[in-house]
Amino acid sequence: MHQISSIIATLSETDKKKFISDLKHRNKRNDTKNIALFKLMDTGDPIEDPDLMLYGKRAKGAYHALCKRLHESLIDFVALKYIEGESSKESSVLKLVLASSIFFEHQQYPIAFKTMARAERSARKYALYGLLNDIYNIQLAHAHLNSSVDFEEILKKYHKNRSNIQQEENLNLFYASVQNELTRKNPSISDILDRNMAEYKISITKNLSYQSLFKLLQISNQVANISRNYYEILEFIEEARQKIETSKRIQQEHLYYHIQILYYLANTYFRIRKFRRSAAALRSMYHYMLLQDQKYLPVFYCQHLLITSLLQIYTGELGKAIEKLSHFDFKKYKNEQVYVHDLKLTRIVALFLAESFKNALHLYRDFYHSDNWYVKKLGFIWVIKKNLLEILLLMELDYIDLVESRLRSFRKKFRNHLLEHNEEKILLFVRLAEAYYKNKNIVYTQEFISKLKEVLHSDKKDEDIFALSFYAWLQSKTLSKKTYDTCLLLIGEN
């Protein structure tokens, strides 16, 4: 059941309608339950006794057989959809290569060379280096048959393409190696990018494809998110931005990757508090989302809204962010699990900063999965932020028993992880928050103020912007100011 729901989650609403239409066309009996099962699985909610719901009685055997058939139908549909989508790329070039080879065999040289030239143009347009390798091999083998063909020029293109193939292979190895390190218990985050880029000779070059650039930015953002150090990838991000600004290759086929890259730029600039550059990347991102009949607007809407809301929150437009997030249709975008959960947490943070604590806690109850589930989906850092936010909300609402319970649970679940990852400052913050909750006047003592300075004044200039939000809550108590005003003050200082 879980696998079927996961596959369905990859389909757009248009795909779902098409799949149901295909099922209706193939069903030879009116009592077939595959469409009913599909709709049941499309809810994404846990289902008890699905066989009873479908058959009106216990029918485990029939239910499992139905699941197997639906699973196979979905696999076929997804695979066929991909093949159809790729037909204008690899398949069309491959057809030209095969046709040209046949023309060469039949000694129809003029049409063979002309067809092969068409194949080369298409393959270069889509950066299909594997097919280009075949094309150049065929051209070199038959160059002696056409006096107008420049053998040395083809040979030069062949060697350049071999370099591109090697670069793509190195990139794949780089991506796999970094991902493998990130799955270890205590990954060496500090030099993970530089070390692996040097190992596999990776660099941002003029000829780097959009797909490759996307992969590089994707993994660098993942590393920065885990380490919470986006300054570490700033130079890398700047190189990518310059490449995009000077590129003449923003074609239709690159649009998806271009939009995703702009999101990574907007996110990174936001995290290092270069808000104007982040906003500029967002504007550019939205412009490209509207192209091709707004094809990618629903695909990237959640990502765009997330950074837009965060920018509003941390640039003094808290009310606008709250209003925007309150009108967001979370159910419509339920398949975008990661970004939907980020948007939910962002909305709660916004309400917390607005001191609308009851509303924030009410929305927090929507996080009904276990912490282990959230760790798998969104990572440890996200879950720690979620738990800290709940503790502060409970403190503000003075739910004594729940505060004590959540503090014990937090230390039990996360203390070892935080110590292993050199995050003692978070544990110090929790101790200070607990001390304040038990004795409000402690915030005026010299010992408390000194400890708070340890939390607030890091040696790093790159203090995480979200961490500052939590620290602002505690600092506001010593200053007798609102949390949001203190938060903006700390962001300005950092």
Q: What integer best gives the mean pLDDT of the chain? A: 85
Query: Is the four-CA dihedral 460, 465, 470, 476 of positive or negative sign?
Result: positive
For residue 230, is it within any domain?
yes
pLDDT tens digits, one per residue of 210-243: 777 788 888 888 888 777 778 777 777 777 777 7
Helix%, strand%, coil% for the chain, nearest 5: 80, 0, 20
Neighbours of 430 (CB within 10 A): 20
Structure confidence at residue 459 (pLDDT): 44
Give the pLDDT band of residue 421 (cuts 50, 70, 90). Answer: confident
- Both 195 and 81 in a single domain? no
Residues 6+ apart with CB under 8 A from 154: 136, 139, 140, 143
Q: Which of 437, 376, 382 is nearest to 406 (CA)?
A: 437
Residue 395: other Cβ atoms inside 10 A = 20
Given a cut of 80, is residue 422 above it in pLDDT?
no
Each residue of 249-302: pLDDT tens digit?
555 667 888 898 899 989 989 988 899 999 999 999 999 999 888 889 999 999
d(CA 230, CA 227) in angstroms, rounded, equals: 8
Q: CB under 8 Å to 57, separation ≥6 — which residues?
A: 51
- Nearest CA to 164 out of 205, 193, 125 is that of 205
Give the range among 9-18, 240-249, 317-326, 334-343 with minimum mean pLDDT.
240-249
Percent of the chain topping pLDDT 90:
36
Looking at the structure, do residues 116 and 49 belong to the same domain, yes or no?
yes
Average pLDDT value for residue range 463-474: 82
State the pLDDT confidence band at 460, using cuts at 50, 70 and 90.
very low
Query: Range with the lowest mean pLDDT among 145-159, 450-464, 478-492?
Result: 450-464
Across the range 185-211, mean pLDDT stands at 74
pLDDT at 44: 64
Q: Is residue 489 part of a domain?
A: yes
**Which range (101-105, 207-211, 327-331) has the least confidence?**
207-211
* 6 and 143, same domain (yes or no): yes
Is the model's pLDDT at 149 over the cut of 90?
no
- Does the global pTM surpass 0.85? no
pLDDT at 186 over 70: no
Quick check: 340 and 333 in contact, CB under 8 A? yes
- Given a cut of 60, whether residue 462 has pLDDT beyond it is no
Is residue 367 included in any domain, yes or no?
Answer: no
- Please tell me the predicted confidence (pLDDT) of residue 88: 59
Examine the pLDDT at 1 and tell me if it is beyond 50. no
In the predicted structure, residue 178 carries a pLDDT above the cut 80: yes
pLDDT band at 171 (very low <50, low <70, confident <90, very high): confident
Q: For 2-42, write each residue's pLDDT tens digit.
A: 678 778 877 778 888 888 888 888 887 766 778 888 888 88
Per the structure, the complete domain to which residue 399 belongs is given by: 394-494
pLDDT for position 188 = 66
pLDDT of residue 57: 83
- pLDDT per residue over 384-419, tens digit each? 999 999 999 999 999 999 999 999 999 999 998 888
Residue 30 or residue 352, greater confidence: 352
> How far apart are alpha carbons 435 and 108 in whole angstroms?
87
In a domain, 369, yes or no: no
DSSP code at position 89: I
Does 289 reside within a domain? Answer: yes
Report the pLDDT averaged over residues 461-478.
Answer: 81
Q: What is the mean pLDDT of residues 325-337?
A: 87
Backbone angles phi, psi at 466, to 5 degrees: -75, -35
Same domain for 81 and 198, yes or no, is: no
Cβ–Cβ < 8 Å for 436, 396: no
Give per-residue pLDDT as tens, 78-136: 877 766 655 457 878 888 898 999 999 989 899 999 999 999 998 988 788 899 999 99
- Same domain for 412 and 492? yes
Query: Do 107 and 225 have their domain in common?
Result: no
User: Do 195 and 138 share a domain, yes or no?
Assistant: no
pLDDT, residue 156, reads 95
Q: Are 264 and 282 in contact (CB under 8 A)?
A: no
Last residue of a domain, one of 265, 295, 325: 295
Number of domain units in the chain: 3
Average pLDDT over residues 323-330: 93
Same domain, 15 and 110: yes
> Percentage of residues in the chain with pLDDT exceeding 70?
90
Q: Is residue 54 part of a domain?
A: yes
Q: Could you tell me if residue 311 is inside a domain?
A: no
Of 245, 277, 295, the residue that ends a domain is: 295
Encoding tokens for residue 61?
A: 């055997």
Question: What Å distances lie between residue 181 and 39, 175, 317, CA to CA?
Answer: 39, 10, 39
DSSP run (H or E) holding 231:
none
DSSP secondary structure of 368-393 = -S-HHHHHHHH-HHHHHHHHHHHHHH
Residues 144 and 180 in one domain: no
The reply to whether 123 and 188 lie within a common domain is: no
Average pLDDT over residues 336-340: 89
Give a yes or no: residue 333 inside a domain. no
Nearest Cα to Cα of residue 380 among 349, 337, 423, 343: 423
Residues 15 and 129 in one domain: yes
Domain final position from 243, 265, 295? 295
Cα 324 to Cα 271, 344, 393, distances in angstroms: 21, 12, 22
Residue 274 DSSP label = -
d(CA 119, CA 164): 18
Residue showing tokens 């009116």: 30
Residues 355-367: tens digit of each pLDDT: 999 999 999 999 9
Please report, in angstroms and rounded to a whole number, the separation of the first and last CA atoms in the chain: 49
**189 to 393, 398, 448, 493: CA distances (angstroms):** 32, 39, 32, 27
Same domain (yes/no): 30, 106:
yes
Hey, is 142 helix, strand or coil? helix
